[in-house]
Structure 1
């Protein structure tokens, strides 16, 4: 009996000890799990992607707001990557001239660049259709929507990789407001006033102004004002009040014509050497793509702020006379576009892109026109001159 009791007691003791041990193990395990969770919060997983530095040159002079916007993109990339991917920002001419940027990225002399597709118009006129589009009634944000949801990127990649065999990867980013007709010696009142003018523009806009009778010269942004100062140009457009002001246009002209169909919707292009891009880790590629989208939004907000301020200062401080381009001149531009598009549509790929754009605009702008009230009515109600 005693042996049986001893056995039962020992058995109960064993169960009790086992229970205590189990609870201790559970609590110890819970503590370790909690510690691990705390460690996860305190020390998040860090990407092991190799640090990469890229030489990234813009096509803009250092003082231009466009170069600032190119640097804004780099800032986003550098901060989002935690320093594991760094874009080293260089201004136009630091390594190659502005118009040599694409070739330099293609060959690997540069790793990346910031510019506009119209600058590569000499290689294929369809390049201008991905950043400086015909005025079908859309704006630059509509162009970016087409790029992302209307087949634009597929066509862009077909041009870059299949037709021209360029060793680049590109992102279109940064919707620009409609560009001014430009800077002139005197107010433009009729389309005939443009005839025989030595006028600077780029991309398909060059064909449009040639059709209107102007003598077109294509030069990079930093070269325009010196050319006007020396009399090599009679008139010119660049892009916006902030760029125009800092580049010195008010020093060579006091007549500024706003509104035009020559470049009513444009966006930047950010390009990378494809071999360099393909060698990046997946998260680094994603950062480059999504930073372009983030910078696109910020650029449009900054432009609205800065361009409006600089237009006011052009008028008040620089004594520039601002005029609205007459309807007759803009109608003549649209007719010139008809002629240019008819001629360029003889090339199969150009026609393919135009068809895609027309299909997109026909649907999307119809929606916008039906849905969006005339903003000028509301603006005039609150800010217009009060009757009486």
Structure 2
């Protein structure tokens, strides 16, 4: 009798252990583990922390079942070199900005920003309610990539120069790092432009590979140390009045993701959008003051220079619209939205 009881208890114990083991295995199988490339280093103000915040947010919302490990630029791929690895599935996801991918399609540059474009409130509104997200989704889907609007920053500075620029004639022959469609505007004035990732700019300035640069806002640029070499920082950022950020996901990985995890990532991106705009606005004045203490002169372009730049931009825009139907589709969408927005925007805000 005792022996039979022991056998029964033992069998139940074994069954329980097996059941627990199977249960833990099932739970482990449900966990999602992704690798996310970051186009910007974590220590860079405003644009560095977002992928890490996104990772933390989805981790908390999922109770640890959706784990995104963020890798610094260069660990998985170069800072801006994430398009093909995402498309091919070599990397699960990446945080960056659409303009990094303009070599694939110049419409990506417009999806990021364009000269004399809208401020962040209008730009976000167009993305969310005017068709911008849908256009981005369509463009990226062609190459097996899921697009998520995942951040935005306010105006940038429009250049760091070693000497004061009294005339745009001084730009002729200058070698300058310049981003997006704005680079084509600078080329109209004889500038030789190239697009470098943030971490590559300081060494290029130091070695003289480039003579001048623009990258982002004062706080971000200060993170990279440009103020140590170029002492004239020009405003306003005519070429980037606001700039969008993205999370790209391999489409196969996205489609395999449970709906609740998709929602978590979307919510985390909306949080990133709000936080980046607020952080971007809040952190610039301290950087500008610090730059001045380090010998930088914060310069303002006169209206005459801005008029020249705007005229060159109109030429570039006409060329882009004539050569790329994707740009035309995007521009038509924004223009329609902007005409409606002006009814409110021209009356709702103090000038």
When normalised by structure 2's length, the TM-score is: 0.88
Matched, 1:155 2:135: yes
Q: Write out per-residue CA displacement over residues 7-29 of structure 1, whole angstroms, 9 at most, x where no aligned residue.
A: xxxxxxxxxxxxxxxxxxxxxxx
Matches within 5 A, 1:241-260: 241-260=218-237
1:357 counterpart = 2:334: yes
1:30-56, Cα deviation, whole Å (9 max, x unpaired): xxxxxxxxxxxxxxxxx9992111101
Contact kept, 8 Å, 2:120 with 2:277, in 1: the verdict is no
Rounded to whole Å, the distance in 2 between the matches of 1:108 and 1:349 is 25
Does 2:77 align with 1:93? no
Is 1:278 matched with 2:255? Answer: yes
Q: How big is the shift at 1:306? A: 2.1
Q: Who is 1:333 aligned against?
A: 309
Residue of structure 2 in register with 1:102 after alignment: 83
Alignment of 1:295-310 (within 5 A): 295-310=272-287
| Whole-angstrom CA distance in 2 between matches of 1:93 and 1:181 | 27
69 and 309 in structure 1: CA distance in 2 versus 1, 3 angstrom threshold: farther
Residues 63-119 of structure 1: per-residue CA shift (max 9 Å, x gap): 312222222222222222221111101111011112221211111111110111111
Match of 2:214 among 237, 243, 259: 237
**Within 5 Å, which residues of 2 pair with 1:1-388?**
50-65=30-45, 66-136=47-117, 138-161=118-141, 165-316=142-293, 318-346=294-322, 347-374=324-351
Q: CA deviation at 1:134?
A: 4.1
| Match of residue 18 from structure 1 | none
Q: Cα offset for 1:175?
A: 2.1
CA–CA distance in structure 2, aligned partners of residues 352 and 223 of structure 1: 33
Structure 1 residue 304: Cα displacement: 2.0
How far, CA to CA, are the matches of 1:330 and 1:81 in structure 2?
49
- Alpha-carbon distance, 1:61 to partner: 2.7
Q: CA RMSD in A?
A: 1.7
Answer with 231-240 or 209-218: which moved more: 209-218
The answer for unaligned runs of 5 or more in structure 2 is: 1-26
Closer, same or farther: CA 48–151 of 1 in aligned 2, 3 Å: farther
Q: Name the CA distance, whole Å, in 2 between partners of 1:79 and 1:365.
A: 40
Match of 2:19 in 1: none
**After the TM superposition, which of the residue ranges 189-198 and 286-295 deviates more from structure 2?**
189-198
**Partners of 2:179 and 2:214 within 8 A in 1:** no
Q: Which moved more, 1:125-134 or 1:227-236?
A: 125-134
Q: Distance in 1 between matches of 2:348 and 2:255?
A: 42
TM-score, normalised relative to structure 1: 0.80
> Which secondary structure does the structure 1 equivalent of 2:329 belong to?
helix
Contact 1:190 1:328 in 2 (8 A): no
State whether residues 42 and 48 of structure 2, in contact with CA within 8 Å, keep that contact through their aligned partners in structure 1.
Answer: yes
**8 A contact 1:167–1:273 mirrored in 2:** yes
Matches of 1:308 and 1:260 in 2, distance apart? 15
- Runs of 4+ in structure 1 deviating by more than 6 angstroms, as ranges, are none
Unaligned runs of 5+ in 1: 1-46, 375-388
How many residue pairs get aligned? The number is 323
